[in-house]
Amino acid sequence: LLVLGYLFYLLLGAMVFQLLEKQAETHFRDQFQLEKLKFLQNYTCLDRQALEQFVQVLMEAWEKGVNPEGNSTNPSNWDFSNSFFFAGTVVTTIGYGNLSPSTVAGQIFCVFYALFGVPLNLAFLNQLGKGLNAHLITLERWVQKPGRAQVVQTLAVAIFLTAGTLLFLLFPPLVFSYVEGWSYGEGFYFTFITLSTIGFGDYVVGTNPNKHYIPVYRSLTAIWIVFGLAWLALVFNVGADLME
């Protein structure tokens, strides 16, 4: 039954995503082809092959973590703050995909760094989760004392979960919306995709070359991610237990 339910959930997701996204993808593809034709018409000195080569250069630059917007004065992707943020995405297995080592030495180091860093991160999150769970148990014992009604117990646990939801899921999108210029919905989407370690990489903090970020912005974000991961992992564990 669990296998059938799991497969059904995947099939349901596939159908819904196809229904929601395929038409939009077709629209964007047609619009992009139209823009390329307009560009060639406006700049007759270029031919289609030259334009395609330039588009390929842009794609390769993006894959290497270089933002095609702006110029060579753009902040480095590998200053200490950004490198700290990248290290956090490695050990937490988020892996946005917008930035990765391009040198052989960097790639080899990344392998061994993740080999030891991922178990270390799991151990850290496990202990952090145990600490959060211990507070829950203490809270449950307090409310289960004689004379305290069941509604009080439910209310106390609800307050604990609500505080985590506000701190890790609902309040951070306000900050990201203000700093990055995203809508609240985009900020909330980024928040959950990050803390769940899905990490698509379509939204990443601190990557807009037209904005000036404080040096510790991404480092603080990395710290928020670590504690948010522990809280959401606890919520996921509770959800898994309920489903089992």
Using CA atoms, how far residue 209 sits from 54, 61, 200, 201, 225, in Å, is: 21, 14, 20, 16, 23
In the chain (244 residues long), the average pLDDT of successive 10-residue segments reads 87 92 91 89 84 85 73 74 89 88 92 94 84 67 60 71 90 94 95 92 86 84 89 83 80
User: What pTM did the predictor assign?
Assistant: 0.77
For tokens 């060639």, the residue is: 40
Residue 186 within a domain: yes
Q: What is the pLDDT of residue 141?
A: 64
Range of the domain at 139: 75-243
Residue 36 within a domain: no
Whether 58 contacts 68, CB under 8 Å: yes
Residue 2 within a domain: no
The CATH number assigned to the domain holding 216 equals 1.10.287.70
Residue 97 within a domain: yes
Indicate the number of domains in the chain.
1
Q: What is the pLDDT of residue 74?
A: 66
Residue 176 within a domain: yes
CA distance 232 to 17: 24
CA distance 19 to 165: 30
Residue 21 within a domain: no
Q: What is the pLDDT of residue 73?
A: 63
Q: What is the pLDDT of residue 174?
A: 95
CA distance 130 to 69: 45
Predicted confidence (pLDDT) per residue in 149-172, tens digit: 566 667 767 777 888 899 999 999
Residue 14 within a domain: no
Residue 46 within a domain: no
Q: Can you state the angle between helices 184-195 and 172-180, rounded to 10 degrees?
A: 120
Q: What is the pLDDT of residue 79?
A: 83
